[in-house]
Amino acid sequence: MRRFIEAPVRRVCILPVVSALVGLWLGAAPLGAQVAVRGDTVYTMNGAPIPDGVVLIRDGKIERVGPAARVRIPEGYRTLTAKVVTPGLVDAHTVTGMAGYMNQPHDQDQLDRSSPIQPELRAVDAYNAREELVGWLRGFGVTTLHTGHGPGALVSGQTMIVKTWGDNVDQAMVDSATMLAMTLGPSVSGNFQNRSPGTRSKGVAMLRAELVKAQDYAGKQRGPADGRPARDLGLETLARALNREMPVLVTAQRATEILSAIRLAQEFNLRLVLDGAAESYLVIPEIRAAGVPVILHPTMVRTSGETENATLETAKKLMDAGIPVALQSGFEAYVPKTRVVLFEAAIAASNGLSREEALRTITIDAARIIGADRRVGSLERGKDGDVVLFDGDPFEYTSKVCGVVIGGQVVSEDCR
């Protein structure tokens, strides 16, 4: 892959003495710090790249972005410089923080195998902000995770959005209940002792039955007080999906399951987001007609079982058809338990996508699909001060991430 940027990163720190002493804590700029990031090329993902661009961050938010000739860096700002600057990367679907690097029962909370339908389970109750995989991903420029209960159950639980910085879930939190994770396909049965649901049609039938129950439950809850049923957390959550308050994230790899997911969403007027979608290129007209976005499997997914027909070109095919696409790290069954979306996007850029298109799948397009684009995904005034500094082309394997800023805090300056 030809590199179009060559020179190494340059870093210059300008910081008043008092601020420097406060900033010694964990090497991070303090809350309320003023940071300037200057890059030979700044990809804002909100227009054309800016040569010799500047991003000013004040009190955790971006206050100004533009060419250095027009954006003066005020006195007292801590200044970082790099060859390439991008928004913080967004992993559109992962289980990191629920699944840990040790790959032992005590750090594997992404899937509860006691029942195939458990919409009441919340990622916020299990997310480990100190999980080492979170910091590992942060070192590669990933600043936002859409994480939570993973594939493997008809309804595995609720997902959430977090930043990759913070000592606990409350500090990391962006959104506590983002989507309701579901899975269609024969692989579900292998996760439960009673082999439920068994077949594809049984799985869809079980979901339909549960959604009908939720409709009835919601209707009775709106009725007279003396006729209201006792609270049911699972049915309450499904009712939120039926009311279109919470999208359903349906992992469906085969074309058969993809079409079933679309039919189910249409029947119950659900806000559907397709996940995985290994054979989505076979049903592009149907996906486009349904207006459904796709959080595509990792580009380098292992092609076996339900993903045996995955291709490296799927992101390009979907994008050319006008279907919103994001890439993900997904669920990784083997140590180190997660992939890196930066690498997945680089391979997509080698298989049809332009570099900017590939970057969109892990920045602004990912943010839009998960509903976080008001805060992250692009470098715009008012958005969170999440910035990544590279010493070269982000998609060249010899390039390194040499700085990460999250919410205006410089959380990493080690080249990696």
The structure tokens 């005034």 sit at 381
DSSP states along 369-387: HHT-TTTSSS--TTSB--E
Helix (H) or strand (E) holding 88: none
What domains can you pick out in the chain, each with its CATH number?
17-87+379-412 (2.30.40.10), 90-370 (3.20.20.140)
Radius of gyration of the chain from Cα atoms?
22
Residues 19-74: pLDDT tens digits? 333 343 344 445 557 999 999 999 999 999 999 999 999 999 999 999 999 999 99
Axis-axis angle for helices 233-242, 200-221 (nearest 10): 90
- The answer for residues whose C-beta is within 8 angstroms of residue 368's C-beta and 6 or more apart is 293, 324, 377
Residues 293-326: pLDDT tens digits? 999 999 999 999 999 999 999 999 999 999 999 9
Q: Cis (ω within 30 of 0) for the bond into 197?
A: yes
- Provide the β-strand partners of residue 295: 275, 326
- Identify the CA nearest to 292 among candidates 337, 325, 314, 316: 325
DSSP states along 241-293: HHTTSS-EEEEE-SHHHHHHHHHHHHHHT--EEEEE-TTGGGSHHHHHHHT--
Q: pTM, whole model, 2 decimals?
A: 0.92
Q: How far is CA 321 from CA 240, 282, 325, 407, in A?
A: 31, 12, 10, 35
pLDDT at 1 over 70: no
Residues 138-192: pLDDT tens digits? 999 999 999 999 899 999 999 999 999 999 999 999 999 999 999 999 889 888 8
pLDDT at 103: 84
- Which pair of structure tokens corresponds to residue 25? 């804590």
Asked whether 355 and 348 are in contact (CB, 8 A), the reply is no
Alpha carbons 83 and 400: distance in angstroms, whole number: 11
Asked whether 262 and 272 are in contact (CB, 8 A), the reply is yes
Strands 248-252 and 272-276: parallel
Average pLDDT on 72-96 reads 97
